[in-house]
A and B are shown apart, each in its own frame.
Chain A
Amino acid sequence: MKDGMDRRTFLRMSGLTAAAAVAAACGAPGGDEPQAAEEAPAAEAPAADSGPPSKYNESPLLAERVAAGELPPVDERLPADPVVIEPLDEIGQYGGTTRVAIGNPNALFGDPQAVMGTELILRIAPDFSSITSGLAESWEFNDDATEQILHLRQGLKWSDGAPFSADDFMFSWHELWLNEEYAPGGPPSAWKAGASSAADPLEMEKIDDYTIKLSFTKPYPLIVLQQTFYAGSQGGLWQPAHYLKQFHPDHGDADEIAAMTEEAGFEEWHQLLRDKGRVGSTIPAQVGLPGMTAFIRVDDAPDHHTYERNPYYWKVDTAGNQLPYIDNTIVFVIDNREVANAKLIAGELEFSGRQADLANMELYQANLESADLKIKMWKSTFPGRTIIVPNHTHKDPQVRAFFNNKDVRHAMSVAINREEINDVVYFGLGEPRQWAAWPGSKYYQEGDESNWAQFDPDMAMELLDQAGYSETDSDGFRLFPDGSRVSWIIQLDTEQADVQDVFELVVEQWRAVGLDPSIRPINRSHLNELVAANDMGMSGWEGDISDITWVWCSRLNHPGHCNVPWGKGYDIWLDGDPENEIAVEPPDEVAWVYNRWQEMIDAVTEEEHVAIARELWEWFYDYLPGFGTVGIPKPVVMKKNLTNFPDDGVWGFSVIRAVPVHPEQFFYKQG
């Protein structure tokens, strides 16, 4: 409301993500989270007066460069009205280097983003209760949510000192996303109404240097979620126009572009531009590319990327110190996860979040002192909560009929001994949990996680008998109608170790009730190919992504979403391609779900949105397309003196995409 929205709009917005219970559920400390307070220390901003007693402090690293004449003074670099971040625990000290590891050089998700932060159009509050300002200071919708006006912050500068303005949005949208050579598939679905690929892309209009109007062909209130979470794999809605124009044929010199393209080994201008404009989330992933983030890339070697603080970063702490506190970040590209673990216990990483897991707790504990580490136990919506996904459109008609039988699915779920999985795979540290809405999210109701989550092999046997699979062979395994054993193949992604462990147990437990599946671990892209061809039998994945606020990739009430969907054939049919050879006509209720899902996205009011979502969840708990297993805690490992990192939180997409923990205020406490 401080953003000056009218009350109704705010309700619509914040309601979508409001999850006040999260704070309680996660035990987050009540009042002292870092708040992206918009009010700068307002009155005292004599920017013109650049006399020696500077209003703001800066890192000694930058002060040197100012003294050497390489940079203008800090007061000139900061906007007149910088964003003030209240540090979580205390005002920090400048300096230090953070080292983290990633597996895929293109994915800055996870740890790099967790320690460097990201800058999005809008931000989510640390307790997930509301959406606040980001690069845009405020926003408003028209009554039917077909138009959104974004008011950008004024006076922000790119890391090279150039002003940040509506032109950066206009360039990105009109000259990149709408350019058929640069984006032959058109803009990403995120920027189409209803996030549906079939819809028309939004229209963007510049009202003035700091105001943009986005219009959609149908209501798209949830675009604020895209603006809080989605940066896209190739940059979001804004890119540094002043820098990238030199590579664009409409602006740059054709001969120079041709020469640069040739020299870089590319064939087309758009390959060069894509390369020059590469970002990981919103952090520049290319040397020389200006960014708005706290850190920018300064060096690029095969096995590591080096980042340095952004001298023009536009946030300060409550004492007027320009953020970030930390000077440098090094991201190691490490193909083998074990090397990252080894580096961590050798004291060569400052932080490990995404790759840290329960299985390694004893290793961390044994090396806490020697590597100077501490562990914070967060909750997790993300890794380790293996979900089990049968393919309801299996190519073998007998297996398909089997998975399609609701009694069978209920039986399979209650035949799973979740306590045993918890004890064996997670040392008893987790808790049994059905695949369900995340406690604390606005979609959650008491008891959601216990539907069909009890362990009751007798009931499973009875249900299977009822479903018509009572005949058994001499080894006690149940038989399909044609007399062959009830058996199917489970294809699992080789990269997820605990998923394989969980399945090893589940298969054993299913054998006890007369089912005989077998496991075949395969490479992730191979699995994806099987899914695309509807050749998957059954699979599993770490985490069900039924995250606090993240609704885009939700495989539960949508048959075709995510890496291992439960109804690929249905999805193809419902996407309007019933002639496709792998399309399968869905039962009425699945078709209903498919359409209801889109209605949930398009819902204009919060109440309607949550009501539909709840309806879908209720359906899900009964239909039970797939099964959840165990919810587990999530260790986050860091150097002992890393300060201002929250003690408690929920590790999941909401966190690693939106990064509400404000990494710019982390620091290393000296002495």
Chain B
Amino acid sequence: MTSAANPRAPAAPDATASPYERGSLSDLLEAEGTLAESRTQFLTPRQLMLLRFRRNKMAVFSLWFLALLYLSALFAPIISPYDKTHRFNKHLYLPPRDIHIRADDGSWRRPFVYAVTIETNRETFTRDFVEDRTQQYPIQFFVKGDPYKLWGLFRMDWHLYGVENAEEIGPVFLMGGDKFGRDIFGRALYGARISLTIGLVGVSIALVIGLVLGGLSGLYGGLVDNLIQRLIEFIRSIPTIPLWMGLAAAMPADWPQLRVYFGITIILSLLAWTTLARVVRGKFLSLRNEDFVLAAQSAGANQWYLIWQHLVPSFMSYVLVDITLAIPGMIIGETALSFLGLGLVSPTVSWGVMLKDAQQVVEIAIHPWILWPAMFVVVTVLALNFIGDGLRDAADPYADM
């Protein structure tokens, strides 16, 4: 095996049995640190991890991609040419706009679109899409359009791109429009605000519960541990869908959407914390008997100091991995809840809400661009998975599974 194929090969010759078998991160970092002292002696464990993470190209790429997505969500009102509720009644189900840079006579132009109209055919009850190739409308940048309040603070009305006279000639829908004539691309960005944060907020809640209960479980053992273990076992044993339904039904019918959003986040995190708690507990248990902990204990270190200074940092990387891998579950969970009619609903915009509209054969067959939000979900979940895998490889190449 070449060293390129096996990145940990250099570490192997010097490694003693104990760090491997214990699978403990700090020991491992120590081992690596000593072995490569000449090269990396000034690298902190965190830098080391970063170094290893960067070797995974897919993970790095995913990280950049995700950063871009979060930024786009943040600036959604600017990037999307129209407001998320702006309906173009004359252009329902507009297919993604073709952006041309070459006119029919073969001359090159700045990017433009042709005027389009949609006509209802009263014979067949279908709608015909008509492109008027005599009228070209250039795509304009930084145009004035629907007013909005960026982050609820700044009143603005300019958008990254747009086209003149959109009501008549058809709006610039990069990914097409939906049944109400709204911009799918723009709505997907707005939707990202909900869908991407549901994962983050949910995971944070799960993390807090998981850390506390997992920590208690691992630290005290005995009865506390037993009770918490039973609780976890219990939650995990109930099938997801009835649990969702029961919890979703417990939300009063007159709740506003914002509260429903938090309710759903809590429902999703209620299922996720058990995994984290198990990880935390496992690490506590295994670290409890580590030399450095025993040493600190015998040196009379305060227990909480010990936990905070030594235990938590040493398993934080594992937790990070699990967090990264828990977020996709929540994003998918949000779409599933919407599919079942238990989640968020219009006029709130989320990927789940948008995908609920795509749950029809007619959309897949006739208006397949309605499925674009699914691509957002897929790509995001993939990215998070790759990042999670990258982190795992970086933090813990010897994870005991």
Contact = CB atoms under 8 A, between A and B. Distances in A.
B65 interface: no
Contacts of B1: none
Contacts of A635: 125
B346 A500 contact: yes
Nearest to A527: B253
B181 to A, nearest CB: 7
Interface stretch (B263-271, B357-365, B368-376): B357-365
B366 interface: yes
A608 interface: no
Given A361-B125, A427-B125, A518 B341 contact: no
Contacts of B366: 362-363, 366
Contacts of B103: none
Contacts of B127: 362, 427
Given A424-B181, A535-B253, A338 B360 contact: yes
Contacts of B92: 424, 427
Give chain B's interface residue range (CB within 8 Å of chain A). Answer: 20 to 34
Interface centre among B89, B92, B253, B255 (most CB of A within 10 A): B253
Interface string A493-533: 01000001100110110000000001111110010001000
Contacts of A345: 361, 365
Interface majority SS (helix, strand, loop, mixed), chain A: helix
A250 B139 CA distance: 84
Contacts of A366: 365-366
A365 B341 contact: no
Contacts of A365: 124-126
B106 interface: no
Given A362-B126, A428-B120, A489-B253, A341 B89 contact: no
Interface string B31-75: 000000000000000000000000000000000000000000000
Interface in B237-272: 249, 253-257
Interface in A136-190: none
A526 B341 CA distance: 12
Contacts of B87: 424
Interface in B335-394: 341, 345-347, 359-362, 365-366
Nearest to A367: B365
Contact of A520 (B254, B359, B361): B254
B4 to A, nearest CB: 49
Contacts of A429: 120, 122, 125
A601 B127 CA distance: 46
A537 interface: yes
B28 to A, nearest CB: 50
Given A366-B366, A424-B181, A504 B346 contact: yes
B97 interface: no
Contacts of B257: 518
B253 A363 contact: no
B333 to A, nearest CB: 18
A274 to B, nearest CB: 28
A423 B362 contact: no
B254 A489 contact: yes
A338 B126 CA distance: 19
Nearest to A339: B361
Contacts of B249: 526
Given A420-B89, A518-B257, A535-B253, A341 B181 contact: no
Chain B CB within 10 A, most for which of A341, A427, A494:
A427
A670 B254 CA distance: 57
A355 B179 CA distance: 20
Interface in B170-198: 179-181
A367 B361 CA distance: 12
A360 interface: yes
B180 A530 contact: no
A500 B345 CA distance: 10
A411 interface: no
A502 to B, nearest CB: 11
A424 B359 contact: no
A344 B345 CA distance: 29
A505 B179 CA distance: 12
A464 B341 CA distance: 35
16 contacts: A338-B359, A341-B362, A360-B360, A361-B124, A362-B126, A365-B125, A366-B365, A424-B92, A429-B122, A491-B253, A505-B180, A507-B347, A518-B256, A523-B341, A526-B249, A635-B125
Given A365-B125, A424-B87, A424-B180, 20 more contacts: A338-B359, A341-B360, A341-B361, A345-B365, A358-B125, A360-B361, A360-B362, A361-B125, A362-B366, A363-B366, A365-B126, A366-B365, A366-B366, A420-B89, A424-B89, A424-B179, A519-B345, A520-B254, A520-B255, A635-B125
Interface of A: 338, 341-342, 345, 358-363, 365-367, 377, 420, 423-424, 427-429, 489, 491, 494, 500-501, 504-505, 507-508, 518-523, 526, 530, 535, 537, 635
Closest 6 CB pairs of A and B: A363-B362, A494-B341, A361-B125, A341-B361, A362-B366, A362-B126
Interface of B: 85, 87, 89, 92, 120, 122, 124-127, 179-181, 249, 253-257, 341, 345-347, 359-362, 365-366
